[in-house]
Structure 1
Amino acid sequence: MATESGARPRKAGAFDIRLIIALLIGVYGVILTVMGLWFTSDAEREKAAGVNINLWAGLGMLVVSAAFIIWARVRPLVVPAEPEDADTPPAKVE
């Protein structure tokens, strides 16, 4: 898939914002899941109407993080091989 100039388009890779968001949500998800599994007391569960909210929120965040990673892998962002000319003004839309 080379362009006319011979340069190949590249994927955004680690600079894809979806992967950064997935990392942040995933870290919080792991923390909440660990807190829900081992550090939630019965008194804290009673405050949340008997639901281990840390565990469920953590698992939900891990699912969302996995969805972002899958999305980034299935539809990667392609960086153009050559940047647009900065001297050319943008086209006017009338």
Structure 2
Amino acid sequence: MSENTDTGTGTTAPHKAGAFDIRNIIGALMGVYGVILALAGVFGDPELEKTGDVNANLWTGLALVVVAVLFIGWARLRPIVVPTDVDRPDDDPTRPAPTRKRPPAH
């Protein structure tokens, strides 16, 4: 069933931004980087003497995964609804028309 189908009450369901919501893109990128860093922290050399006895890759990766989950959860809980009817800017009679500068005549 499509999201814009009639629900029987005469109204259509709102169209959401979905995968093109920037929060999903940011969450996915942070999640990928977080998983890579977490795996590097688990399987790689932690080099604890350089980071003050803290596995920086592991903790940073886990923090990025948590932030990614928050971003994607935020996008799912509060989706951006795309309006179905938007007035074009040139339909507004009070809006001034754009002016074009002409090059000087020679």
TM bin, normalised by shorter chain, reads 0.7 to 0.9
Return the offset for 1:82: 1.9
**TM-score, structure 1 normalization:** 0.81
Query: Considering only aligned residues, what root-mean-square deviation do their CA atoms show, in Å?
Result: 2.3
* Larger helix proportion of the pair: 1
Q: Distance in 2 between matches of 1:67 and 1:50?
A: 28
Aligned residue for 1:13? 18
Q: Aligned to 2:89, which of 72, 86, 89?
A: 86
Q: RCO greater where, 1 or 2, for CA within 8 Å and sep 6 or more? A: 1
**TM-score, structure 2 normalization:** 0.72
Residue identity over aligned pairs, in percent, reads 51
Q: Which runs of 5+ in 2 are unaligned?
A: 1-5, 96-106
1:65 equivalenced with 2:65 (yes/no): no
Q: Which runs of 5+ in 1 are unaligned?
A: none
Return the offset for 1:88: 3.0
Return the offset for 1:86: 2.7
Q: Distance in 2 between matches of 1:85 and 1:77?
A: 20
